[in-house]
Structure 1
Amino acid sequence: MIYGYCRISTEHQSIERQIRNIKAQYSQAQIITEVFTGTKVDRPQFTRLLEIVKAEDTIVFDSVSRMSRNAKEGYEIYEKLFKDNVNLIFLKEPHINTETYKKALSNQLTMTDTPVDYILEGINRYLLELAKEQIRIAFEQAEKEVSDLRQRTKEGLQTAKFNNKQVGRKKGTIIKVKKEKPIKDIILAKSKSFNGKNTDAEVMSIINGTPYFEDIHGLEVKKTYSISPNTYYKYKRELKNSLY
């Protein structure tokens, strides 16, 4: 079984890039998505994946930072999965894929049953530690990048505040809801106040039964529009003001 694990830190981020990158190379991968805010308990999907994954299964990550943002935890998970014979693939850090690690182990020098073996054993241990160190470095780099990003964000907010710049949305800013336009299009087409033949009650009924697809963490989920009478008449007023 091939799994693709994709993670974002907030619901406002897009997970589509990670899914696209994994599917481009492993089209048969079963994608598992998650919003992870920073602690182990926030990763129920990843915890479940670790429980169901078996020997010879494969887990694909867009990058090592998607597996863990904590170097110590990441290396511990990597080591356990490697011992369980689970294949790990990191698209952006292929040098630490478990297959690469296995090759490093299999390429060890063969013993000769002579005193030279003392030297060969030392070389083999060195190669093994070198491979382990590369894995550690990859996780430590991912942890450092997250830490640096947080620091830059903090400094940017402090600078903006110092310069009296607006941080966040200004009070009174009007936010356009993504569903507003398609709902208004239905009102224009169906309401007898515009181009249609239906009463307000009929139009609201049509809207509330109209399906649409919403992107949730990179996955298309089928939903149905829902509109309250207050919102419906508000949209009608806005349409009339814009048209007449």
Structure 2
Amino acid sequence: MSKIYGYCRISTKNQSIERQIRNIKDLYPSAIILEESFTGTKIEGRKEFNKLLSKVKSGDTIVFDSVSRMSRNVEEGYKLYEELYNKGIELIFIKEPHINTTTYKQALTNNIELTGTSVDSILKGVNEYLLALAKEQIKLAFIQAEKEVKDLQQRTKEGIETARLNGKQIGLEKGTKLITKKSIAAKEQIQKYSKDFNGSLKDTEVMKLIGVARNSYYKYKKELIEELHNAQCRN
């Protein structure tokens, strides 16, 4: 029995994916929804989408809220489109219905019949034109999706430069330490195992034991010494 899948993707976990799910469910209530948060443009990094591609079969349908949810890379997107089409999988793009696989299929199958006369060369040219037009529409959709990514990157870059020129702080202020779960755990282990604190191991031995790179190790160790010194001064 054929299945309908709805693939939804957001770029960051702070975004809401509910709108995409709602748009798909409104049209295809029985759709099996797959959700994913991924920032890149390459398909190979999307675990849930790749799982879907590995199990989808001929007769199944994949629904996207828009073509950008399938791919924001022109070459990769168009190649995947043709691969899925050739496998007998239907693709539906809610916001770009003109590039649904049903439209592409019509361009392939609804050829103008040849007459066996001298006008056949003209009719053949018309058929080839219709197919080329369908392919071009699909490519244009992926080109637009890719352009949106580049435009966003450019706007972000320009915004950062404008902020910098206006004297605004970009990123952490000088002297500010970025505290993460990783740094906290590393410092606890350094304090526990290093002979300079409560342990008996050399720096190289501690690095190997806790799996921290040399530069990070000495950075954490320096910060730890400062933190312990400040704590003693407060007491």
Same fold (TM > 0.5): yes
Q: Which of residues 2, 5, 23 in structure 2 aligns to 1:3?
A: 5
Partner of 1:32: 34
Partner of 1:215: none
TM-score scaled by length of structure 1: 0.66
TM-score scaled by length of structure 2: 0.69
Q: Residue deviations 1:60-87, cap 9 Å, x none?
A: 0010000001010000000111111111
In the aligned structure 2, how far is the partner of 1:168 from the partner of 1:95? 43
Moved >6 Å (runs of 4+): 168-171
Partner of 1:13: 15
Q: How much has 1:106 moved relative to structure 2?
A: 2.8
Deviates more, 1:159-168 or 1:123-132: 159-168
Partner of 1:130: 133
Structure 1 pair 150–2 and aligned structure 2 pair: CA distance change class (3 A): same
In the aligned structure 2, how far is the partner of 1:6 from the partner of 1:21? 10
Q: Which of residues 74, 83, 92 in structure 2 aligns to 1:80?
A: 83
Partner of 1:112: 115
Partner of 1:23: 25
In the aligned structure 2, how far is the partner of 1:41 from the partner of 1:73? 10
Q: How much has 1:162 moved relative to structure 2?
A: 1.5
1:62 maps onto 2:65 in alignment: yes
- Greater helix share, structure number: 2
Q: Residue deviations 1:9-46, cap 9 Å, x none?
A: 12222111111111111111000011122133321111
**Stretches of structure 2 lacking an aligned partner (at least 5 in a row):** 177-235
Q: Secondary structure at the match of 2:36?
A: strand
Paired residues in the alignment total 171
Q: How much has 1:125 moved relative to structure 2?
A: 0.6
Q: Residue deviations 1:107-144, cap 9 Å, x none?
A: 21011122222211111011100100000011001101
Assess if the C-alpha contact under 8 Å between 2:104 and 2:134 holds in 1: yes
In the aligned structure 1, how far is the partner of 2:44 from the partner of 2:75? 17
The AA in structure 2 aligned to 1:6 is C
The Cα RMSD (Å) is: 1.7
Q: Secondary structure at the match of 2:33?
A: strand
**Stretches of structure 1 lacking an aligned partner (at least 5 in a row):** 172-244
Partner of 1:151: 154
In the aligned structure 1, how far is the partner of 2:22 from the partner of 2:170? 32
1:98 maps onto 2:74 in alignment: no
Identity fraction in percent: 63
Q: Which has the higher contact order (CA 8 A, sep 6+)?
A: 1
In the aligned structure 2, how far is the partner of 1:28 from the partner of 1:4? 9
